[in-house]
Structure 1
Amino acid sequence: MKILITGANGQLGKHLLSTLEHSHTVIGLGRNELDILNKEKVNTVISTLKPEIIIHSAAFTAVDQCELDPKKAFEINGLGTGYVAQAASNINARMFYISSDYVFDGKKNSPYNEDDEPNPISAYGMSKWLGEKLVQKFNNGTIIRTSWLYGHDGGNFVKTMIKLGQENKELKVVDDQIGSPTYVNDLADVIIRLFYKESKIYHVSNTDACTWYEFARTIFEEKGYNPELIIPTTTLEYGALAPRPSYSILGHEAILEENIDLPRPWKEALKDFLRKEREL
């Protein structure tokens, strides 16, 4: 198949590009090659390339920055997504939109299912939900919500913890937000399997859950750092700019219905990530 990946320089885009190029014709476009806010350019590029599948991973993902600049968040995550969805529909391409657990408010105390009503509490969450709505309006697309993503390219929580751990100083990490860390490689594997499945909303994350504090401690333990340097704190004490859902575990009913195996537990995935990092 001919596949177009937007946000090809991001951690998910880069991995998808290197994984798919062995078996498909893949075009990866970063911000410099495709400004998703230029509707005319989006139309021209997509109608010229004529991909069968578009994986739209381009996004403004800095959650606190989205709170400072909501206009930019809504333009990139909302409007730009809409332009890509419209252009995809014009050539009958199927779109895969990468969304987020942050579309939920975190007030539930059991895993969020695909048909639970979103109720975002941050500019980032709202902008991703707007993107979802535009994909549903303009394209018979697939929406993939994921959570706490990390991979080998770009910055992420795991890499930050590894870097800070080398400094051997105490580190405060929030212990009242619970979710499922997700390894980019495992997310990509499921996305590829969804090429051949029904277009709808899917939740894809590694299984099991933890708080950011537990996640950080596990990273330290696996790296041989002193886990006692990780100090639990509350979201309120930490004082992040954007509100985050306190509970955002995703249920996986939709992928199970499609007979796709659940991704492995997050601790197993983390060990694999760290092993691969050592080999890089």
Structure 2
Amino acid sequence: MKFLVTGAGGQVGSALGLMGPLNGHEVIPLDRQTLDITGTAEVRAAISNYNPDAVINTAAYTAVDKAQSEPELALAINAAGPENLALACADLDIPLLHISTDFVFDGKKSEPYSETDPIGPLSVYGSSKAEGEARVAAIGGKFLILRTAWVFGGEQNFVATMLRLGETMEELNIVDDQRGGPTASTDIAAALLSMAEQANAPAFSDWGIYHYSGAPSLTWFGFAQAIFAGRDKPVLHPIPTKDYPTPAARPKNSVLDCSKIKRVFDIDQPDWRTALSQLLT
């Protein structure tokens, strides 16, 4: 099968570029220099030209704190961009797979979030991603929205930051009252490929939103402990969110209920410890 991947320079996009061919697929990787998804005409031309079996959108504005001061840019990339892709895909009858985030929730629920729970983003980033979901869904067509959380695997993520700080810092204060499921970019890529394959079956009709994140859930402090397991330094100290203020508010609970993706696509919730071990080896 042939998949067009936008945002191919990012964590998940890069993983798709590597894993797709290994699974027998042709991947057309388009990064931000190759395709600006905020350009309506450019998007339509690219999809028409390549005529893929599915479009997988991993392009996103992900600078959560910076988005607070760049709301227009965040909205353009995270909402107008997916809308352009959805319009073109709907017209051409091509499935669109789009990545979203746990940041669409306010984090006040004590249990894992399901796909039908009401959203309530706390930040510009979360609002822009929620708007992207809404625009894709409003257009209709063949679309799959995959909400995920705490992505790691590339150069700009929590694991990479911890390892970098651990090289020079003797002690680190880590937030211990935000809970979620770390998710490896390679696991997300594998899930998207499986979804794209199954969505191309003539009888497939289960379009909509799905959740996919790693297990077991834990706090950022717990995740940091796993990253530095077996090392004497740095010494880690748990702190509350209020002691680590950021421009953008984060949901306290980012745990996602992943039962739907298992039921529909037979995709298991990944154990993040396996991917972390491979990354640190």
Asked if 2 retains the 8 angstrom alpha-carbon contact of 1:113 and 1:250, the reply is yes
Q: What is the rounded CA distance, in whole Å, between the counterparts of 2:92 and 2:148 in structure 1?
A: 27
What is the TM-score of this pair, normalised by structure 2?
0.93
Give the aligned partner of residue 231 of structure 1. 237
DSSP 3-state at the match of 1:115? coil
**Alpha-carbon deviation of 1:199?**
2.0
Name the % identity.
39
Deviations for 1:233-257, whole angstroms, at most 9, x for unmatched residues? 2211111110000011000121121
Deviations for 1:203-245, whole angstroms, at most 9, x for unmatched residues? 11111111111111211115x2425x11212211111110000
Give the aligned partner of residue 212 of structure 1. 220
Deviations for 1:4-32, whole angstroms, at most 9, x for unmatched residues? 00000001001101111241221000001
The letter of the residue matching 1:246 is K
**Alpha-carbon deviation of 1:165?**
0.9
Give the aligned partner of residue 8 of structure 2. 8
Higher deviation after alignment, 174-183 or 187-196: 187-196
Superposition pairs for residues 80-99 of structure 1, below 5 Å? 80-99=81-100
Give the aligned partner of residue 109 of structure 1. 110
Q: What is the rounded CA distance, in whole Å, between the counterparts of 1:268 and 1:35 in structure 2?
A: 35
Asked if 2 retains the 8 angstrom alpha-carbon contact of 1:17 and 1:28, the reply is yes
Q: What is the rounded CA distance, in whole Å, between the counterparts of 1:57 and 1:131 in structure 2?
A: 12
* Aligned length, in residue pairs: 272
Q: What is the rounded CA distance, in whole Å, between the counterparts of 1:2 and 1:193 in structure 2?
A: 13
Higher deviation after alignment, 259-268 or 124-133: 259-268
User: Which runs of 5 or more residues in structure 1 are unaligned?
Assistant: 276-280
Q: What is the rounded CA distance, in whole Å, between the counterparts of 2:267 and 2:143 in structure 1?
A: 22
Give the aligned partner of residue 192 of structure 2. 191
Give the aligned partner of residue 179 of structure 2. 178
What is the TM-score of this pair, normalised by structure 1?
0.93
Q: What is the rounded CA distance, in whole Å, between the counterparts of 1:242 and 1:269 in structure 2?
A: 28
**Alpha-carbon deviation of 1:68?**
1.5
Q: What is the rounded CA distance, in whole Å, between the counterparts of 2:255 and 2:112 in structure 1?
A: 5
The letter of the residue matching 1:237 is D
RMSD: 1.4
Asked if 1 retains the 8 angstrom alpha-carbon contact of 2:258 and 2:269, the reply is no
The letter of the residue matching 2:143 is G
The letter of the residue matching 1:35 is D
Asked if 2 retains the 8 angstrom alpha-carbon contact of 1:177 and 1:245, the reply is yes
The letter of the residue matching 1:56 is N
Give the aligned partner of residue 72 of structure 1. 73
DSSP 3-state at the match of 1:185? helix
> Are 1:144 and 2:146 matched, yes or no?
yes
> Are 1:119 and 2:120 matched, yes or no?
yes
**Alpha-carbon deviation of 1:188?**
1.6
Give the aligned partner of residue 278 of structure 1. none
Mark the CA change 1:185 to 1:225 in structure 2 (over 3 Å): closer, same or farther: farther
Q: What is the rounded CA distance, in whole Å, between the counterparts of 1:12 and 1:261 in structure 2?
A: 17
User: Which runs of 5 or more residues in structure 2 are unaligned?
Assistant: 200-205
